[in-house]
Protein backbone atom coordinates (compact mmCIF):
# COMPACT_ATOMS: atom_id res chain seq x y z
CA UNK A 1 0.00 0.00 0.00
CA UNK A 2 1.36 3.41 -0.95
CA UNK A 3 1.99 6.13 1.60
CA UNK A 4 -0.37 9.12 1.86
CA UNK A 5 2.36 11.40 0.52
CA UNK A 6 2.77 9.18 -2.55
CA UNK A 7 -0.98 9.09 -3.24
CA UNK A 8 -1.18 12.86 -2.89
CA UNK A 9 1.71 13.29 -5.32
CA UNK A 10 -0.13 11.10 -7.85
CA UNK A 11 -3.31 13.13 -7.44
CA UNK A 12 -1.40 16.37 -7.97
CA UNK A 13 0.28 15.02 -11.09
CA UNK A 14 -3.12 14.10 -12.53
CA UNK A 15 -4.73 17.43 -11.63
CA UNK A 16 -7.07 15.61 -9.23
CA UNK A 17 -6.03 16.82 -5.78
CA UNK A 18 -8.76 18.65 -3.90
CA UNK A 19 -8.08 21.35 -1.32
CA UNK A 20 -10.45 23.37 0.85
CA UNK A 21 -11.19 26.96 -0.18
CA UNK A 22 -12.96 28.54 2.81
CA UNK A 23 -15.26 31.50 2.33
CA UNK A 24 -14.71 34.64 4.35
CA UNK A 25 -18.41 35.52 4.16
CA UNK A 26 -21.78 33.80 4.44
CA UNK A 27 -22.45 31.40 1.55
CA UNK A 28 -24.84 33.70 -0.30
CA UNK A 29 -25.12 34.96 -3.86
CA UNK A 30 -22.15 37.29 -3.26
CA UNK A 31 -19.25 35.67 -1.43
CA UNK A 32 -15.71 36.56 -0.44
CA UNK A 33 -12.92 34.07 -1.03
CA UNK A 34 -9.21 34.83 -0.75
CA UNK A 35 -10.17 38.45 -0.22
CA UNK A 36 -12.03 38.66 -3.55
CA UNK A 37 -15.76 39.32 -3.90
CA UNK A 38 -17.40 36.88 -6.32
CA UNK A 39 -20.79 36.10 -7.79
CA UNK A 40 -21.53 32.63 -6.45
CA UNK A 41 -22.56 30.15 -9.16
CA UNK A 42 -21.39 27.12 -7.18
CA UNK A 43 -24.04 26.54 -4.51
CA UNK A 44 -27.18 24.40 -4.61
CA UNK A 45 -29.34 27.06 -2.94
CA UNK A 46 -31.72 26.98 -5.91
CA UNK A 47 -34.52 29.06 -4.38
CA UNK A 48 -32.33 31.34 -2.28
CA UNK A 49 -33.89 30.06 0.95
CA UNK A 50 -30.66 29.55 2.91
CA UNK A 51 -30.78 33.22 3.86
CA UNK A 52 -34.58 33.63 4.01
CA UNK A 53 -35.47 35.74 7.09
CA UNK A 54 -38.43 33.56 8.11
CA UNK A 55 -36.31 30.39 8.00
CA UNK A 56 -33.50 32.01 9.96
CA UNK A 57 -36.00 33.21 12.55
CA UNK A 58 -37.54 29.74 12.75
CA UNK A 59 -34.08 28.23 13.27
CA UNK A 60 -33.39 30.63 16.14
CA UNK A 61 -36.82 29.93 17.62
CA UNK A 62 -36.14 26.19 17.38
CA UNK A 63 -32.85 26.51 19.27
CA UNK A 64 -34.57 28.49 22.02
CA UNK A 65 -37.39 25.94 22.30
CA UNK A 66 -35.52 22.67 21.80
CA UNK A 67 -31.85 23.40 22.45
CA UNK A 68 -28.78 23.28 20.25
CA UNK A 69 -28.46 19.49 20.08
CA UNK A 70 -30.68 16.41 20.28
CA UNK A 71 -28.32 14.62 22.74
CA UNK A 72 -28.99 11.03 21.54
CA UNK A 73 -30.04 8.82 18.66
CA UNK A 74 -33.66 8.82 17.55
CA UNK A 75 -34.33 5.43 19.18
CA UNK A 76 -32.99 6.48 22.58
CA UNK A 77 -34.25 9.95 23.51
CA UNK A 78 -33.34 12.00 20.43
CA UNK A 79 -36.80 12.12 18.87
CA UNK A 80 -38.53 15.44 19.57
CA UNK A 81 -41.82 16.86 18.33
CA UNK A 82 -40.31 18.76 15.34
CA UNK A 83 -38.80 15.55 13.95
CA UNK A 84 -42.21 13.87 13.88
CA UNK A 85 -43.96 16.99 12.59
CA UNK A 86 -41.46 17.33 9.75
CA UNK A 87 -41.77 13.66 8.79
CA UNK A 88 -45.57 13.88 8.75
CA UNK A 89 -45.41 17.05 6.62
CA UNK A 90 -42.95 15.50 4.18
CA UNK A 91 -45.09 12.38 3.80
CA UNK A 92 -48.16 14.46 3.07
CA UNK A 93 -46.30 16.75 0.68
CA UNK A 94 -44.72 13.84 -1.20
CA UNK A 95 -48.04 11.94 -1.38
CA UNK A 96 -46.67 9.05 0.65
CA UNK A 97 -47.81 7.12 3.72
CA UNK A 98 -44.81 7.94 5.89
CA UNK A 99 -41.36 9.53 5.98
CA UNK A 100 -38.10 9.29 7.89
CA UNK A 101 -35.39 11.93 8.17
CA UNK A 102 -31.63 11.43 8.24
CA UNK A 103 -28.58 13.62 8.82
CA UNK A 104 -27.60 13.71 5.12
CA UNK A 105 -28.48 12.35 1.71
CA UNK A 106 -25.49 10.04 1.81
CA UNK A 107 -26.66 8.60 5.13
CA UNK A 108 -30.16 8.16 3.71
CA UNK A 109 -28.92 6.06 0.79
CA UNK A 110 -26.68 4.02 3.09
CA UNK A 111 -29.74 3.38 5.25
CA UNK A 112 -32.24 2.45 2.54
CA UNK A 113 -30.42 0.16 0.13
CA UNK A 114 -28.79 -2.32 2.56
CA UNK A 115 -32.12 -2.53 4.41
CA UNK A 116 -34.07 -3.22 1.21
CA UNK A 117 -31.81 -5.78 -0.51
CA UNK A 118 -29.14 -8.32 0.41
CA UNK A 119 -26.66 -10.80 -1.04
CA UNK A 120 -29.20 -12.80 -3.03
CA UNK A 121 -30.78 -9.69 -4.54
CA UNK A 122 -29.95 -7.17 -7.27
CA UNK A 123 -29.42 -3.41 -7.53
CA UNK A 124 -29.58 -1.77 -10.95
CA UNK A 125 -27.97 1.67 -11.13
CA UNK A 126 -28.04 4.37 -13.78
CA UNK A 127 -24.45 4.92 -14.90
CA UNK A 128 -24.54 8.54 -13.67
CA UNK A 129 -25.97 7.81 -10.22
CA UNK A 130 -24.51 9.74 -7.29
CA UNK A 131 -21.73 8.16 -5.23
CA UNK A 132 -24.08 7.64 -2.27
CA UNK A 133 -26.24 5.25 -4.30
CA UNK A 134 -23.21 3.39 -5.64
CA UNK A 135 -21.61 2.98 -2.21
CA UNK A 136 -24.90 1.95 -0.62
CA UNK A 137 -25.41 -0.69 -3.30
CA UNK A 138 -21.91 -2.07 -2.63
CA UNK A 139 -22.57 -2.09 1.11
CA UNK A 140 -25.78 -4.11 0.64
CA UNK A 141 -23.95 -7.14 -0.73
CA UNK A 142 -26.45 -7.40 -3.59
CA UNK A 143 -25.33 -8.07 -7.15
CA UNK A 144 -24.90 -4.74 -8.95
CA UNK A 145 -25.68 -4.05 -12.58
CA UNK A 146 -25.22 -0.68 -14.28
CA UNK A 147 -27.23 0.52 -17.26
CA UNK A 148 -26.26 3.40 -19.61
CA UNK A 149 -27.64 6.77 -18.61
CA UNK A 150 -31.44 6.87 -19.04
CA UNK A 151 -31.28 3.82 -21.38
CA UNK A 152 -34.60 2.11 -20.73
CA UNK A 153 -34.06 -0.55 -23.41
CA UNK A 154 -30.89 -1.74 -21.67
CA UNK A 155 -32.62 -1.57 -18.27
CA UNK A 156 -35.46 -3.73 -19.63
CA UNK A 157 -32.96 -6.23 -21.00
CA UNK A 158 -31.13 -6.47 -17.67
CA UNK A 159 -34.36 -6.93 -15.76
CA UNK A 160 -35.55 -9.63 -18.15
CA UNK A 161 -32.28 -11.54 -17.79
CA UNK A 162 -32.36 -11.32 -14.00
CA UNK A 163 -36.00 -12.35 -13.71
CA UNK A 164 -35.46 -15.33 -16.01
CA UNK A 165 -32.81 -16.67 -13.63
CA UNK A 166 -34.01 -15.32 -10.26
CA UNK A 167 -37.78 -15.25 -10.13
CA UNK A 168 -37.93 -14.59 -6.38
CA UNK A 169 -35.06 -12.13 -5.93
CA UNK A 170 -35.65 -8.59 -4.79
CA UNK A 171 -34.63 -6.11 -7.48
CA UNK A 172 -34.08 -2.46 -6.69
CA UNK A 173 -33.61 0.07 -9.50
CA UNK A 174 -31.94 3.27 -8.31
CA UNK A 175 -31.87 6.51 -10.25
CA UNK A 176 -32.16 10.27 -9.85
CA UNK A 177 -34.87 12.64 -10.93
CA UNK A 178 -32.27 15.30 -11.79
CA UNK A 179 -28.67 14.24 -12.32
CA UNK A 180 -26.45 16.54 -10.33
CA UNK A 181 -23.50 16.96 -12.68
CA UNK A 182 -25.30 16.89 -16.02
CA UNK A 183 -28.65 18.55 -15.33
CA UNK A 184 -30.48 15.77 -17.18
CA UNK A 185 -33.89 14.45 -16.11
CA UNK A 186 -34.85 10.80 -15.85
CA UNK A 187 -37.78 9.57 -18.03
CA UNK A 188 -39.66 8.72 -14.88
CA UNK A 189 -43.07 7.56 -16.10
CA UNK A 190 -41.60 5.31 -18.77
CA UNK A 191 -38.98 4.02 -16.36
CA UNK A 192 -41.70 3.05 -13.91
CA UNK A 193 -43.48 1.10 -16.64
CA UNK A 194 -40.33 -0.97 -17.12
CA UNK A 195 -39.69 -1.41 -13.39
CA UNK A 196 -43.25 -2.51 -12.68
CA UNK A 197 -43.28 -4.99 -15.57
CA UNK A 198 -40.60 -6.99 -13.76
CA UNK A 199 -41.95 -6.60 -10.23
CA UNK A 200 -38.96 -4.48 -9.18
CA UNK A 201 -38.74 -1.61 -6.70
CA UNK A 202 -37.68 1.95 -7.53
CA UNK A 203 -35.52 4.24 -5.44
CA UNK A 204 -35.76 7.79 -6.80
CA UNK A 205 -33.30 10.37 -5.51
CA UNK A 206 -34.95 13.80 -5.77
CA UNK A 207 -32.01 15.71 -4.26
CA UNK A 208 -31.89 18.22 -7.11
CA UNK A 209 -35.58 18.05 -8.08
CA UNK A 210 -37.03 18.80 -4.65
CA UNK A 211 -38.11 22.44 -4.48
CA UNK A 212 -37.46 22.97 -8.19
CA UNK A 213 -39.89 20.72 -10.08
CA UNK A 214 -43.62 20.08 -9.65
CA UNK A 215 -46.64 22.33 -9.11
CA UNK A 216 -45.76 22.77 -5.43
CA UNK A 217 -42.04 22.05 -5.70
CA UNK A 218 -42.23 18.44 -4.57
CA UNK A 219 -40.13 17.14 -7.41
CA UNK A 220 -40.39 15.11 -10.57
CA UNK A 221 -42.65 12.52 -8.93
CA UNK A 222 -45.21 15.25 -8.28
CA UNK A 223 -44.71 16.78 -11.72
CA UNK A 224 -45.49 13.47 -13.43
CA UNK A 225 -48.12 12.45 -10.85
CA UNK A 226 -46.47 9.10 -10.13
CA UNK A 227 -45.52 9.37 -6.46
CA UNK A 228 -47.85 6.48 -5.55
CA UNK A 229 -45.89 4.16 -7.86
CA UNK A 230 -42.45 4.76 -6.33
CA UNK A 231 -41.17 2.50 -3.54
CA UNK A 232 -38.68 4.98 -2.08
CA UNK A 233 -38.60 8.73 -2.68
CA UNK A 234 -35.49 10.22 -1.12
CA UNK A 235 -34.10 13.72 -1.22
CA UNK A 236 -32.05 16.27 0.64
CA UNK A 237 -33.04 19.31 2.65
CA UNK A 238 -29.69 21.02 2.03
CA UNK A 239 -30.28 22.32 -1.48
CA UNK A 240 -33.53 24.06 -2.46
CA UNK A 241 -34.76 23.82 1.14
CA UNK A 242 -31.74 25.83 2.29
CA UNK A 243 -30.92 23.84 5.44
CA UNK A 244 -29.43 20.38 6.02
CA UNK A 245 -30.48 16.78 6.37
CA UNK A 246 -32.44 14.42 4.14
CA UNK A 247 -35.53 12.24 3.99
CA UNK A 248 -37.06 9.11 2.55
CA UNK A 249 -40.78 8.72 1.87
CA UNK A 250 -42.29 5.25 1.53
CA UNK A 251 -45.08 3.02 2.80
CA UNK A 252 -45.70 2.80 6.53
CA UNK A 253 -44.28 -0.72 6.60
CA UNK A 254 -41.08 0.26 4.80
CA UNK A 255 -40.52 3.23 7.10
CA UNK A 256 -41.07 1.07 10.16
CA UNK A 257 -38.61 -1.47 8.79
CA UNK A 258 -36.03 1.27 8.14
CA UNK A 259 -36.40 2.42 11.75
CA UNK A 260 -35.33 -1.12 12.67
CA UNK A 261 -32.73 -1.79 9.97
CA UNK A 262 -31.25 1.48 8.63
CA UNK A 263 -27.93 1.61 10.44
CA UNK A 264 -27.14 5.31 9.80
CA UNK A 265 -30.50 6.13 11.40
CA UNK A 266 -30.14 3.74 14.34
CA UNK A 267 -26.54 4.51 15.25
CA UNK A 268 -26.33 8.28 14.68
CA UNK A 269 -27.21 11.10 17.02
CA UNK A 270 -30.40 12.69 15.76
CA UNK A 271 -30.12 15.96 13.84
CA UNK A 272 -30.97 18.92 16.10
CA UNK A 273 -34.70 19.47 16.48
CA UNK A 274 -34.08 23.12 15.67
CA UNK A 275 -33.17 22.13 12.11
CA UNK A 276 -36.40 20.16 11.77
CA UNK A 277 -38.31 23.15 13.15
CA UNK A 278 -36.72 25.46 10.57
CA UNK A 279 -37.27 22.94 7.79
CA UNK A 280 -41.00 23.01 8.50
CA UNK A 281 -40.90 26.74 7.74
CA UNK A 282 -38.90 26.08 4.57
CA UNK A 283 -41.31 23.39 3.40
CA UNK A 284 -44.24 25.75 3.91
CA UNK A 285 -42.52 28.42 1.79
CA UNK A 286 -41.58 25.96 -0.97
CA UNK A 287 -45.21 24.84 -1.32
CA UNK A 288 -46.68 28.36 -1.16
CA UNK A 289 -47.28 31.10 -3.71
CA UNK A 290 -43.97 32.56 -2.60
CA UNK A 291 -42.34 29.26 -3.56
CA UNK A 292 -43.99 29.45 -6.97
CA UNK A 293 -42.60 32.96 -7.40
CA UNK A 294 -39.10 31.72 -6.56
CA UNK A 295 -39.43 28.88 -9.10
CA UNK A 296 -40.64 31.31 -11.76
CA UNK A 297 -37.66 33.57 -11.09
CA UNK A 298 -35.35 30.57 -11.26
CA UNK A 299 -36.75 29.60 -14.65
CA UNK A 300 -36.29 33.18 -15.84
CA UNK A 301 -32.66 33.06 -14.77
CA UNK A 302 -32.15 29.74 -16.56
CA UNK A 303 -33.65 31.20 -19.73
CA UNK A 304 -31.55 34.35 -19.40
CA UNK A 305 -28.31 32.37 -19.24
CA UNK A 306 -29.10 29.56 -21.69
CA UNK A 307 -31.62 31.11 -24.07
CA UNK A 308 -33.78 28.00 -23.64
CA UNK A 309 -36.78 26.76 -21.68
CA UNK A 310 -34.77 24.28 -19.58
CA UNK A 311 -36.25 23.51 -16.16
CA UNK A 312 -33.03 22.56 -14.41
CA UNK A 313 -30.64 25.09 -12.81
CA UNK A 314 -27.56 22.90 -13.39
CA UNK A 315 -25.64 23.98 -16.49
CA UNK A 316 -22.55 21.89 -17.34
CA UNK A 317 -19.82 23.15 -19.67
CA UNK A 318 -17.84 20.02 -20.53
CA UNK A 319 -14.22 20.80 -21.40
CA UNK A 320 -12.61 17.36 -21.27
CA UNK A 321 -9.29 17.61 -19.49
CA UNK A 322 -8.75 18.43 -15.84
CA UNK A 323 -6.32 21.18 -16.78
CA UNK A 324 -8.83 22.86 -19.11
CA UNK A 325 -11.54 22.84 -16.44
CA UNK A 326 -9.23 24.18 -13.73
CA UNK A 327 -7.92 26.92 -16.04
CA UNK A 328 -11.45 27.95 -17.02
CA UNK A 329 -12.52 28.10 -13.37
CA UNK A 330 -9.48 30.26 -12.53
CA UNK A 331 -10.25 32.58 -15.44
CA UNK A 332 -13.82 33.04 -14.27
CA UNK A 333 -12.60 33.60 -10.70
CA UNK A 334 -10.35 36.40 -11.96
CA UNK A 335 -13.42 37.87 -13.71
CA UNK A 336 -15.43 37.79 -10.46
CA UNK A 337 -17.33 34.49 -10.66
CA UNK A 338 -17.19 31.41 -8.46
CA UNK A 339 -17.83 28.48 -10.82
CA UNK A 340 -16.34 25.13 -9.80
CA UNK A 341 -14.26 22.80 -11.93
CA UNK A 342 -15.68 19.29 -11.59
CA UNK A 343 -13.30 16.38 -12.24
CA UNK A 344 -13.00 12.63 -11.92
CA UNK A 345 -14.19 10.77 -9.86
CA UNK A 346 -17.19 13.08 -9.52
CA UNK A 347 -17.65 12.81 -13.30
CA UNK A 348 -16.25 10.21 -15.75
CA UNK A 349 -12.66 10.58 -16.94
CA UNK A 350 -12.11 13.04 -19.78
CA UNK A 351 -15.39 14.85 -19.07
CA UNK A 352 -14.08 17.49 -16.66
CA UNK A 353 -16.32 20.51 -16.70
CA UNK A 354 -17.52 23.75 -15.27
CA UNK A 355 -20.74 23.24 -13.31
CA UNK A 356 -22.88 26.37 -13.16
CA UNK A 357 -25.61 26.36 -10.53
CA UNK A 358 -28.31 28.99 -10.82
CA UNK A 359 -30.48 30.39 -8.06
CA UNK A 360 -33.67 32.38 -7.95
CA UNK A 361 -31.65 34.85 -5.88
CA UNK A 362 -29.25 35.72 -8.71
CA UNK A 363 -29.96 39.24 -10.00
CA UNK A 364 -30.15 39.90 -13.73
CA UNK A 365 -26.81 41.72 -13.71
CA UNK A 366 -25.02 38.62 -12.40
CA UNK A 367 -26.57 36.37 -15.06
CA UNK A 368 -25.80 38.84 -17.86
CA UNK A 369 -22.22 39.30 -16.69
CA UNK A 370 -21.62 35.54 -16.50
CA UNK A 371 -23.12 35.01 -19.93
CA UNK A 372 -20.76 37.61 -21.36
CA UNK A 373 -17.79 36.02 -19.60
CA UNK A 374 -18.66 32.60 -21.03
CA UNK A 375 -18.91 33.82 -24.62
CA UNK A 376 -15.85 32.97 -26.75
Q: Which residues contact 66 (CB under 8 A, 6 or more apart)?
A: 80, 82, 272, 273, 274, 277
The C-alpha atoms of residue 141 and residue 138 are separated, in whole angstroms, by 6
Rounded to the nearest 10 degrees, the angle between the axes of helix 273-286 and helix 289-306 is 70
* CA 349 to each of CA 15, 77, 133: distance values in angstroms, whole numbers, following the listed order: 12, 46, 19
Q: Where in the sequence numbering do the catalytic residues fall?
A: 44, 130, 176, 180, 205, 208, 239
Task: Give the side-chain half-sphere CA count within 13 A for 329.
Answer: 23
The C-alpha atoms of residue 49 and residue 285 are separated, in whole angstroms, by 9
b/e sequence 177-203, b meaning 16+ C-beta within 10 Å:
bbbbbbbbbbebeebbebbeebebbbb
Cβ proximity of 172 and 121 under 8 Å: yes
- DSSP 3-state assignment of 157? helix
Question: Which of 163, 162, 126, 175 has the alpha carbon at shortest distance from 146?
Answer: 126
Vertex 84 angle, CA 293 and 135, to 5°: 80
Q: Which residues contact 310 (CB under 8 A, 6 or more apart)?
A: 183, 302, 303
* CA 318 to each of CA 92, 353, 356: distance values in angstroms, whole numbers, following the listed order: 39, 4, 11
Amino acid sequence: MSKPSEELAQLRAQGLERVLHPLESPAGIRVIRNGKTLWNFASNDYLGLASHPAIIESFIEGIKKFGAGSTASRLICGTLAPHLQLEASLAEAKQSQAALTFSSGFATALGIIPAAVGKNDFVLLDKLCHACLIDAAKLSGATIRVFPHNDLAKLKSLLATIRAKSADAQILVATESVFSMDGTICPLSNLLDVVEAFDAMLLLDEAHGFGVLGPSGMGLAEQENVAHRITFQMGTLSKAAGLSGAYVCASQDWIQLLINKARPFIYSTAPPAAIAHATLASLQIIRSQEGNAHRNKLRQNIASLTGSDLQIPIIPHILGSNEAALTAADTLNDAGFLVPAIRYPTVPRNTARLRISLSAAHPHEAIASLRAALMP
